[in-house]
């Protein structure tokens, strides 16, 4: 079994050292752990468009790696996760790798067998193409006292951990599944796009959520804003990306009738790297004042449906607060889309 790990790092000088230390303690890398045996593990730090010392810190990171592990830091002049994703999956990762693990440079694993759990799930479930864990906001782990906004933020995150949902902070995938996919370079948020590509087989058939397996016992923590303004800014970015995806998917469903839509995106990228930006600009010009699909405002209330009355009453205040914050995020996202080309904004 050969594994290639890509760490996406853009100006992460404060966090990259802690993330690498956590990674090097994973059982698939540490020979002395007695975990899942691997023939080769390649670790690549993808320092893209950094203006700080992220790459230098990664190069100096002390490590005693097992004999089957190789480690490299690759500096890339252009920023952008989607662009970096394409290079890792199609150019830089070990071409003979069976599995690819993609992770952000600011996460910490809860236990030393998180990656082993993800790999084991894919080995045991031949139908699943991707395995994900549960992301936990760092302040939930570190702080005993949470504010009301903290609890709303935490509750909102929990709704995103389930089968069929892909969190871009960390996931493990079969190499052949990802190598049939290309991302538009200007894509603001890649999670939903990748999930749709995986679940529909490149928009060739109906969604099958079981292609993305959720390993509930595996968790990682990540840093995020605790202020209300920070939360709204983060959610607005997600909503912008989801809105652009909804426009893009209409085109991809048409292309899927001719075969896997990944090949179509690859051709579009080659012909014109700005093709998605042009699509977004055309949509904004030809649409009305409000661009955001309405279900993006109210989806936090969906889990209340069908719940017993007492449970609804207990959960309603947090759900309503999350919905109010989400409405503000939608207003901001709509403003961003109307004011400028959102694909270049990020």
Phi then psi for residue 25, to 5 deg, are -90, 0
Question: Which of 164-168, 223-227, 260-264, 278-282 shows the lowest per-residue confidence on average (mean pLDDT)?
Answer: 223-227
- pLDDT higher than 70, residue 341: no
35 against 16, higher pLDDT = 16
DSSP tally for the chain: helices H, then strands E = 14, 8
CA-CA distance, 85 to 236, in Å (whole number)?
A: 22
Instruction: Kindly report, residue by residue over 280-327, the tens digit of the pLDDT.
Output: 989 998 888 999 999 888 887 877 888 888 888 888 887 888 888 889
Number of neighbouring beta carbons within 10 Å of residue 206: 7
% of the chain with per-residue pLDDT over 90: 66
Q: Which residues contact 19 (CB under 8 A, 6 or more apart)?
A: 7, 12, 103, 104, 105, 106, 107, 108
Q: Which of 133, 144, 54, 63 is nearest to 101 (CA)?
A: 133
Q: Do 170 and 102 contact (CB within 8 A), yes or no? A: yes
The Cα-based distances of 227 to 130, 147, 148 in angstroms read 33, 10, 11
The answer to whether residue 73 scores a pLDDT higher than 80 is: yes
Q: E strand or H helix at 245, and its extent?
A: helix 228-256
Mean pLDDT of 252-273: 96
Measured distance CA(88)–CA(177) in Å, rounded: 14
DSSP string, 43-65: EEEEEES-SSSHHHHHHH-----
- For residue 157, name the pLDDT band (cuts at 50, 70, 90): low
Q: Which helix (H) or strand (E) is 1 found in, with range?
A: none
Q: Where are the domains of the chain?
A: 2-225, 246-345
**Residue 346: pLDDT over 50:** no
Core vs surface per residue 12-47: b (16+ CB within 10 A) or e? bbebbbebbebbbebbbbbbeeebbebebbbbbbbb
Position 318 scores a pLDDT of 79
Residue 205 structure tokens: 């058939």
Name the one residue in this structure whose structure tokens are 């990748």.
Answer: 194
127: nearest Cα among 216, 208, 207, 211 = 211
Separation between Cα atoms, residue 85 and residue 190, nearest integer Å: 9
> Helix crossing, 228-256 with 148-158: angle to 10°?
20
Q: Which CATH number fits domain 2-225: 3.90.550.10, 3.30.1330.10, 3.40.50.300, 2.60.40.10?
A: 3.90.550.10
Of residues 293, 290, 345, 299, the one with CA closest to residue 325? 299
**pLDDT, the chain, mean:** 89
- H or E element in which residue 126 lies: none
157 and 135 in contact (C-beta within 8 Å)? yes
């Amino acid at each position: 079994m050969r594994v290639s790990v890509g760490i996406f790092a853009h100006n992460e000088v404060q966090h990259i050292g802690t993330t690498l230390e956590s990674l090097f303690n994973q059982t698939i890398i540490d020979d002395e752990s007695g975990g899942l045996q691997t023939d080769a593990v390649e670790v690549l730090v993808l320092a893209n468009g950094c203006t700080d010392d992220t790459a230098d810190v990664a190069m100096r990171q002390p490590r005693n790696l097992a004999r089957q592990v190789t480690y490299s830091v690759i500096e890339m002049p252009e920023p952008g996760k989607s662009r970096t994703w394409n290079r890792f999956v199609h150019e830089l990762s070990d071409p003979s790798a069976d599995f690819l693990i993609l992770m952000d440079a600011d996460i910490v694993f809860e236990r030393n067998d998180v990656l082993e759990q993800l790999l084991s799930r894919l080995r045991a479930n031949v139908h699943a193409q991707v395995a994900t864990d549960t992301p936990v906001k760092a302040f939930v782990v570190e702080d005993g006292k949470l504010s009301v906004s903290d609890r709303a933020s935490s509750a909102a995150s929990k709704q995103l951990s389930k089968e069929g949902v892909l969190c871009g902070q960390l996931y493990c995938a079969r190499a052949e599944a990802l190598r049939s996919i290309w991302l538009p370079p200007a894509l603001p948020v890649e999670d939903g796009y990748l999930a749709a590509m995986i679940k529909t087989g490149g928009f060739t058939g109906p969604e099958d959520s079981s292609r993305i397996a959720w390993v509930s016992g595996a968790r990682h923590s990540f840093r995020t804003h605790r202020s209300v303004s920070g939360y709204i800014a983060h959610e607005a970015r997600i909503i912008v990306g989801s809105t652009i995806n909804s426009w893009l998917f209409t085109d991809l469903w048409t292309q899927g009738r001719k075969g896997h839509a990944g090949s179509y995106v690859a051709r579009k990228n080659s012909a014109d790297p700005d093709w998605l930006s042009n699509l977004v600009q055309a949509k904004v010009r030809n649409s009305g004042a409000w661009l955001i699909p309405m279900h993006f405002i109210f989806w936090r209330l969906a889990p209340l449906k069908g719940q017993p009355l007492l449970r609804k009453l207990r959960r309603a205040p947090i759900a309503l607060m999350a919905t109010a914050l989400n409405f503000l995020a939608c207003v901001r996202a709509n403003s961003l889309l109307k004011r400028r080309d959102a694909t270049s904004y990020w």
